[in-house]
Amino acid sequence: MSELPKWHGTTILSVRKNGKVVVIGDGQVSMGNTVMKPNARKVRKLGDGSVIGGFAGATADAFTLFDRLERKLEQYSGQLLRAAVELAKDWRTDKYLRNLEAMMIVADKDVTLILTGNGDVLEPVGGVAAIGSGGNFALSAARALVDYEPDAETLCRKAMAIAAELCVFTNDSLTVEALDSAA
């Protein structure tokens, strides 16, 4: 019995630099070796707009997690770290949520976090985080550029261009969200 082709793709990158935090994501959705959609929006503002996030993984699963995170943000008065920890607890222990296949990068003015289904809530080193199939390419490029490019959005765009050149599951159709940052 053959398996259905797996959905691949996505590169999400976040950079926090010089008073700005940016989350950027490509738009490609692939199934096996076929590009199913070139312009998906995998990055968006959450809650009242004070949090931005991007996802890698199954789209329906990611939207379920974004929805749950928005509820946690309401419950904990917009405190992203607290809401993320509570979501991660639920994600790891709830029978339904445990089967969701996605990762997220979320950021507010104070903190950037990577959330995983293993219950991880990780704060990246140096304000640079990436996930997805092209995540390591984007992360490497962003880290190489961080000392030379002062603008967070420009840095993100340059790093994503490199990732799109190297990862066949990443394209250059980008969605960008940004917030003013404390750092």
Instruction: Report residue 175 CA to chain centroid gap.
Output: 11
Q: Is the sign of the CA dihedral 163, 165, 167, 170 positive or negative?
A: positive
- How distant is the alpha carbon of residue 42 from its chain centre? 8
Catalytic (active site) residue 64: no
Beta-carbon neighbour count of residue 17 at 10 Å? 21
User: Are 135 and 164 in contact, with CB atoms under 8 Å apart?
Assistant: no
CA 24 to chain CA mean position, Å:
8
Question: In a 10 Å sphere around its CB, with 0-12 CB exposed, 13-18 middle and 19+ buried, how is residue 129 labelled?
Answer: buried
Could you say which of 10, 11, 112, 170 is catalytic?
Answer: 10
Active site members? 10
